Structure formats: C-alpha cells, structure tokens
Chain A
Amino acid sequence: MSYLVQQTLIYAIPLMIVALAGVFAERSGIINLALEGIMIFGAFIGVLFVHLCQKYGVFELLPNNGNWGTMQLFELLGMLISGMLGALFALLLGFAAINLKADQTISGTALNMLAPAIVLFFVRIIANQEELRLYKGDAAQWFMIKKGMLGLGESDGFLVNTFLNKVYLATYVCIILFVICAIILYKTKFGLRLRSCGENPQAADSLGINVRRMRYSGVLISGALAGMGGFVYALTTSNCMSNGDVAGFGFLALAVMIFGNWKPLNIAGAALLFGLFKCLAAGYSSIDINGDGTKLLFELSKHPTWGKVLNPNFYRMLPYLISLLVLAFTSKKSRAPKAEGIPYDKGQR
C-alpha cells in the first residue's frame, strides 16, 4: 500500500506542478503548448548541473561532504537552476506571443520541437551517447531520503514508511510550491490582475494594469514551474537521466489542466488520479494493495479474459481517453480563460 501511494505521488507531483504552470500562462492569456518542451529543457539543465557538479567535485569541497543535508541542498539548487533556465526558455514563447503577436499554437509547437533537438544535440556532444546520466552513482544513492537518516530506523508505522522513507525532498517542495502559487493566483492583488488579463485584457488595461507585463509574468512563472517540474520528473522517475524526452508528460499535464477546469484544487485531484494510472501502468506487477501477498493487478493482467483489457497498455492510455471524454462532456460549461490565445491589441478596446 505504501508503495502504491509513493509511486502515485512520484508521478502525480510533476504533473500537478506542470499543470499549474499551464494555468499561470493561460490565466494571463497565453496558451502554453510548450509545456512538454520546457519540461525537456528543464530536465536537461538540472541533470547537466548535477552531472557537472559531480564531475568537478564541487560538493566534495564543502565541509559537510557526504552529509545527507548537503545533498538535499544540492538537489534544491538543481531545481532552482532548472526553474530559472526554464523561465528563460519560456521567454521565447513570451517574446513571440506578446511582442510579435505571433500564433501561440505554432510558436508553442516550435518550442516543443526545439527543446528535444537542442537537448539531444548537446547530450550527444557531452556524453557521446543518447542520454546524459549522473557522473557517478545513481539518484537514489545521492538524493533519496531514507528513514534511517532521520533517526527513524526503528519505527515501522505506515505514515513513516510512506512519507518519510525512500522519498525525495523535491516531492514535498513541489507540494509547498503548488500551495503557495495557488494562493498567489487567487488571494493576492497580483493574481487577480493576472487573471483579469486572461479574461478581458482590454478592461484590465483601461484600469491601468500593464497587460504586457502581466502576460510576461504569467509566461515566466509558467516556464519556471514547468522547467522545475521537468527536473523533478527526471530525478524521481528516471534516475536523473536526460534523453530529450519526458514521455508526453507535458501534454498529460495539459490534459490534467483541462480536466481540473483551470482551478488548482481540481488540478491537484486530477493529477493524483492520472498519477495513479501512470503508477498502475508502470508497476502493476509489484503492487500489493491489501498486503496479503497476492498481487491482484498482476493476476488480473494474466487472466484469460480480463487480462485482454486490464494490462499496462490500458492504464497508460486511460488518462488521455478520460480527458477526451471530459472535454466532450464539459465543453459547454468549460471555464477556459476567455482571452487565451488572442494577442492583446490595444486598438480593440
């Protein structure tokens, strides 16, 4: 059971934070189709940072070398840098969409093509193969928090085993960030102004709000969150490896955003649901739901009739199928920001 919860969280958290990234852009009036690309880029930057620091032994110079606290600081720095560079990458979208009034769908698609290309180009030159890995060791060895580190080695409670053993700090940082960003979006003056630019920029402008600046903030925050989400995805699910691919997670995040109707709380729920499907697809053979030793899902996938449907392929495609159905049934009362995708034109007031 604790394995199921942990795995679900591992998949759900990057989805959640990247979907929120989408919300920031769309609420300010910019469609961010480039989430996938920004994630790929952020993952690459984070992994490259870790790789280079290991190579030049940066953390061996620190006084607390080998201490797990230092390693957590290392991880946080990686997240920060991938977030910053993610924002920089998203600036390309902002520049095209806001300054040049370009088609946002096309420029987003262009960034989605640019990110894997540029990442693979550099990965091949740096690592001489198709993927960039850690310079030494693996992600679990360097960054994973185990209960022994916290002095809880003896404890065997469910909560300790689930939330404090074999976890990454990044997961919890993302949850905190998610809450902070949701509060910023809904409870602050800045958030209100940002949202107004996605609904009716002309009215917002007439009240003295700088639409251009608001949209840039939306895109930059979006890029930072998505870039960070990309690194967290690479760190927690693929052993801190960058290969110019995040397996469609950016698009899945887009689906989560739509499923969550552009609202943070719904998005958190949708992300957990989609994370669960991802987890079922990836680890169906080793999930023991009630702890009695039988792996129910594994048995089901071997069943002559049920196994035809309930196999990992099915769980993998379920999120997309559900989002399509949700789109179909809720399109009439969809709460998508009204002005998204429309370049702001002062003359239209």
Chain B
Amino acid sequence: MKRFLNKDGTKSVLSTLISILIGLLAGAVIILIVGLVDSKLGIKEAWKGIRLIFFGLFSKGQQAGRLVFGFNPTNIGDMLFRAVPIIMTGLSVSLAYKTGLFNIGASGQYLAGTTATLFIALKMNTAVVSPWIVWILAFFGGILAGALWGAIPGILKAFLNINEVLACIMTNWLAANIVTWMFEGSGLQCTEGTKTQVIWKTSHNGVATAKMGLDKLFPGSQQVDGGIIVVILIAILVYILLTKTTLGFELKACGSNRHAARYAGIKDKRSIVLSMAIAGALAGAGASLYWLSGSTEFHWQTYLSLPGEGFTGIAVALLGACNPIANIFTGMFMSTLNVAGSKLSFFTGYNEYITDVIIAVIVYLSAFSLLIKTWLTKRFKKSEDRRIPDVVYTSKNAPGEAAPTVHGNNGKEGKAK
C-alpha cells in the first residue's frame, strides 16, 4: 500500500481527485448560498441543484417534482459527443505542455480547423464526389489548417524568441476576426427559418460522421457518433508518439532544456515549430470531428468572443497531468459536468454556468497541483512517522537490529511482521 501511495502517478491521480472534489464543493457551496439568499429558489431547489451537480449524468428527469436518478443512455451518448472537441483540445494543450510550451492558442487553431472543414464539407459538390471522400478531405483539411495556424506561434518562438503565450493570444483574436470575415461573404449562411447567425450543418450537404452503431448503444442521443472512437485512437497515437518514438523524445528534450537538446544534436528550432504544429493539428482535428458530426451549427460571428473549447482544453489537459490517456477521462469528466449543467438549467432555477465556475476552480487549483502533491507526500510521511515508534518498539527485543532508516519500505515490512 505504501509503495503504491508513494508512486508519482498515484499522487497525480490523488491530487487530481482532490482538485475535482474541491471544485465540485465550491460549486455546491455557491448553489447553497444563492439558494438561501434568493427567496425565489430556497433550500429545496438548492438541494436539487447540488444533487444534479454531482449526479447530473444519471438524471432520468422529474416525476411529480422529484428528481429521479438511474442509468440514462441518452445522457451518456450526449456526454461522449460533447467530449469529442474538448478531449482533442486537451490533447493539443497536453502535447504542447509536455514539450515545454503553453498552448493557450487552441481556440484559434480550433477556429482555423472549423473554417477549413466547413468550407470543404459545404462547398464540394457531393453529387459529383462521394460524401465519404468529402468527409475525409474535410477532416484532413481541418487538421492541416489547425497545424498551419499553430505553427505561427511556433515559428515566432523558435526564430524570434517571442513568448508563445503572447503570440497565441494575438493569433487567437486574429483567427476570430479572419473567420468572421471569411464567412461573411461565403454564402454558407443557413437560410432556414429565422436563423441568420449560423452556418449550415454539414449534413445539409450530405456529409456526416458515421454512427458506428453507437446510436444503438446509446438510444435517444441525437448526437453521438463515431467521432469519439476516432478521438480515443488519436489519444493513443499521441501517447505512443510522446513516450515510444524518437521524435517524441526529441520534442520533450527540447522542452525541458532547449540548449542542452541542441548540444545533443537535436534541431531545437524544428522541434518547437513541430510541437506547435502538431498541437494545432490536434485542435483542428477536434473542430473537424465536432462540425462533421452533421448535427451542430456554427455561429460564424466570432469576432467578439473565442470558442470555449480552447480554454476547456486547458482544464482537460492540466487536470489529466498532461497525460494523453488521462485526457480521455478528464475530457469525459468535463463533458459530464456539461451534461449536468444542462440538467441543472432545465430542472431548477439555476443555470449551466455554474459548471464553468467549477471548471475554472479546478484549473485554478491545478496551477498549484505541485503544492497539493507535496502536501500529500508530507501527509504520507507523517503517517509513516507515527508508525516508526511501533517498529522501534518491536525491535527492542532484538537490540542488535538496526533501527529503520528508510521510511517507506521498512515501515511496511515492520507492519507485516
């Protein structure tokens, strides 16, 4: 048990769980206080809200004013679909972070991917080209656009030594404006009904991701499709790239010490640009998969605000300690919160923004996750220290035996005796 607790990975997982718990509690406390202060809501509504925050995924609706909980495949399907873009932006931030770069520009890369994907998927004539080929072209178009957009801060960092955070912020807002500009005269605006602020769904042109049977597995969910399977495959690929390949090693080496890496013969400039380009490609792929589902509408006037996926991606990455495999789970956790948020605004007087508060609190906590880890180490040390007199006491019978010096393993053996 001790050895398990002392492993670095265990501590990471524990500190993640502590962050999540504190975040959820913060949300619950806000709900409780608002419920007590606001006479319209009251304590009953607050109790409903708190239960939905923790178990929103298992909500089965309401009967006679009481919430019913249980297994709900529709919710899980929606959760999986909403996880698609944020796992991808999370992977993007993770990969950059592992290679020493803070990719705050995932929003911009996401927008670049969105634009390329939508243009290809809607402009190509599906009567001539098979929708499948259009899908593939649009998917890779999105990836390429994201990669190119991500490479810009990379180039600025590698060749001009400009802080990638600042460059990413600028490229984000550049993308937000360029995207609006491009769609303004594109003729792709949805003309159906009163909607004027959105672009056609890709299914308008017959292009949509295959369901791969997931709609049967999760009946009732309108949106779930094969995108989530592609995402999981990509996450595994990123994991392999980072841990098992020379390229991944070079990228990481360059991140931990650029000059040392150069001394070891690694092309540092190329590595930095490549890191940012791959990160951009991942964010772009997230956008492609999200819009190619064919069930989502893009609000094209983005110049006043950036898409939230890029920032949620930061939360997904940091919460998962920037491990690509862990990101799958943290991404699903974030989209679980998202589903809980929709339930909250549907069934109670509260609204879904509380989940964004929870996510922000979690990111805030992960900024000093190292501190939580150190605190955990100290906790474990303390509990071992308390056990040491025990060991000394038993060893009294054998005075020749040396007193335990190394805490971890001896303590465990002492107890086993």
Main secondary structure of the interface of A (DSSP, over half): helix
Which chain B positions have C-beta within 8 A of A116?
A: 356
Asked, given contacts A103-B367, A121-B357, A124-B351, whether A248 binds B173 with beta carbons under 8 Å apart, the answer is: yes
Q: With CB as the reference atom, state the residue of chain A lying closest to B312.
A: A113
Asked, given contacts A328-B156, A331-B161, whether A109 binds B104 with beta carbons under 8 Å apart, the answer is: yes
Q: Are A245 and B174 in contact (CB under 8 A)?
A: no
B76 shortest CB reach to chain A, Å:
25
Q: Are A113 and B356 in contact (CB under 8 A)?
A: yes
Q: Are A113 and B311 in contact (CB under 8 A)?
A: yes
Q: Are A110 and B156 in contact (CB under 8 A)?
A: no
Q: Are A331 and B162 in contact (CB under 8 A)?
A: yes
Chain B 171-203 interface residues, beta-carbon cutoff 8 Å to A: 171-174, 176-178, 180-181, 184
Q: Are B173 and A106 in contact (CB under 8 A)?
A: no
Q: Are B360 and A258 in contact (CB under 8 A)?
A: no
Q: Are B364 and A328 in contact (CB under 8 A)?
A: no
Q: What does the 1/0 interface line of B138-176 toward A look like (CB < 8 Å)?
A: 000000000000000000100011100111011111101
CB contact between A324 and one of B171, B311, B353 (< 8 Å): that residue: B171
Q: Are A113 and B367 in contact (CB under 8 A)?
A: no
A317 shortest CB reach to chain B, Å:
4
B361 shortest CB reach to chain A, Å:
7
* Total number of residue pairs linking A and B with CB closer than 8 Å: 138
B102, B174, B177, B306, most chain A CB atoms within 10 A: B177
Q: What does the 1/0 interface line of B340-374 toward A look like (CB < 8 Å)?
A: 00000000011101101101110110111001000
Q: What does the 1/0 interface line of A174-218 toward B look like (CB < 8 Å)?
A: 000000000000000000000000000000000000000000000
Tally of chain A residues near chain B (CB < 8 A):
45
Which chain A positions have C-beta within 8 A of B354?
A: 117, 121
Asked, given contacts A117-B356, A313-B184, whether A106 binds B366 with beta carbons under 8 Å apart, the answer is: yes
Q: With CB as the reference atom, state the residue of chain B lying closest to A322.
A: B170
Bound-state Cα–Cα, A109 to B166, Å? 12
Q: Are A313 and B170 in contact (CB under 8 A)?
A: no
Which chain A positions have C-beta within 8 A of B102?
A: 105-106
A114 shortest CB reach to chain B, Å:
4
Q: A51: CB under 8 A from chain B? A: no
Q: B380: CB under 8 A from chain A? A: no
Q: A255: CB under 8 A from chain B? A: yes
Q: A254: CB under 8 A from chain B? A: yes
Q: B116: CB under 8 A from chain A? A: no
B41 shortest CB reach to chain A, Å:
8
Which chain B positions have C-beta within 8 A of A323?
A: 170
CB contact between B104 and one of A105, A124, A313, A317 (< 8 Å): that residue: A105
Which chain B positions have C-beta within 8 A of A328?
A: 156, 160, 162
Which chain A positions have C-beta within 8 A of B413?
A: none
Chain A 105-146 interface residues, beta-carbon cutoff 8 Å to B: 105-107, 109-114, 116-118, 120-122, 124-125
Q: B314: CB under 8 A from chain A? A: yes
Q: Are A114 and B366 in contact (CB under 8 A)?
A: no
CB contact between B303 and one of A118, A122, A125, A316 (< 8 Å): that residue: A316
B350 shortest CB reach to chain A, Å:
7
B59 shortest CB reach to chain A, Å:
20
Bound-state Cα–Cα, A347 to B141, Å? 51
Bound-state Cα–Cα, A33 to B357, Å? 18
Q: B34: CB under 8 A from chain A? A: yes
Q: Are B351 and A121 in contact (CB under 8 A)?
A: yes
Q: With CB as the reference atom, state the residue of chain B lying closest to A311.
A: B181
Asked, given contacts A117-B360, A247-B304, whether A327 binds B174 with beta carbons under 8 Å apart, the answer is: no
A29 shortest CB reach to chain B, Å:
15
Q: Are B166 and A113 in contact (CB under 8 A)?
A: no
Which chain A positions have C-beta within 8 A of B366?
A: 106
Tally of chain B residues near chain A (CB < 8 A):
49
Asked, given contacts A323-B170, A328-B162, whether A317 binds B349 with beta carbons under 8 Å apart, the answer is: no
CB contact between B177 and one of A103, A107, A316, A324 (< 8 Å): that residue: A316
Q: B122: CB under 8 A from chain A? A: no
Bound-state Cα–Cα, A153 to B315, Å? 56
CB contact between A113 and one of B172, B350, B363, B368 (< 8 Å): that residue: B363
Q: B305: CB under 8 A from chain A? A: yes
Chain B 95-134 interface residues, beta-carbon cutoff 8 Å to A: 102, 104
Q: B318: CB under 8 A from chain A? A: yes
Q: Are A102 and B371 in contact (CB under 8 A)?
A: yes
Q: B38: CB under 8 A from chain A? A: yes
Which chain A positions have C-beta within 8 A of B304?
A: 245, 247-248
Q: Are A125 and B34 in contact (CB under 8 A)?
A: yes
Asked, given contacts A105-B104, A124-B353, A327-B162, whether A114 binds B311 with beta carbons under 8 Å apart, the answer is: no
CB contact between B314 and one of A109, A114, A125 (< 8 Å): that residue: A109
Q: Are B104 and A320 in contact (CB under 8 A)?
A: no
Which chain A positions have C-beta within 8 A of B171?
A: 320, 324
B245 shortest CB reach to chain A, Å:
28
Q: Are B359 and A320 in contact (CB under 8 A)?
A: no
Chain A 293-349 interface residues, beta-carbon cutoff 8 Å to B: 311, 313-314, 316-317, 320-321, 323-324, 327-328, 331-332
CB contact between B311 and one of A101, A112, A258, A313 (< 8 Å): that residue: A112
Which chain A positions have C-beta within 8 A of B177?
A: 313, 316-317, 320
Which chain B positions have C-beta within 8 A of A103?
A: 367-368
Q: What does the 1/0 interface line of B79-106 toward A look like (CB < 8 Å)?
A: 0000000000000000000000010100
Which chain B positions have C-beta within 8 A of A247?
A: 304-305
Q: A62: CB under 8 A from chain B? A: no
Q: A251: CB under 8 A from chain B? A: yes
Which chain B positions have C-beta within 8 A of A124?
A: 351, 353
Q: Would you list 25 pairs from A and B whose C-beta atoms are within 8 A, ordered by A residue?
A: A103-B367, A105-B165, A107-B364, A110-B360, A113-B363, A117-B354, A117-B357, A117-B359, A118-B357, A120-B351, A121-B30, A121-B353, A124-B351, A125-B350, A247-B305, A248-B304, A248-B306, A251-B169, A251-B173, A254-B166, A313-B181, A316-B303, A320-B177, A324-B171, A327-B167
- What would 16 more interface pairs be, CB under 8 Å, given A117-B357, A118-B357? A101-B368, A105-B104, A106-B314, A110-B360, A114-B357, A121-B350, A121-B357, A125-B34, A247-B304, A313-B184, A317-B177, A324-B156, A327-B156, A327-B167, A327-B170, A331-B162
Q: Which 5 A-B pairs have the closest CB atoms?
A: A117-B356, A114-B360, A317-B177, A110-B364, A102-B368
What residues of chain A have their CB less than 8 Å away from a CB belonging to chain B?
Answer: 33, 92, 96, 100-103, 105-107, 109-114, 116-118, 120-122, 124-125, 245, 247-248, 251-252, 254-255, 258, 311, 313-314, 316-317, 320-321, 323-324, 327-328, 331-332
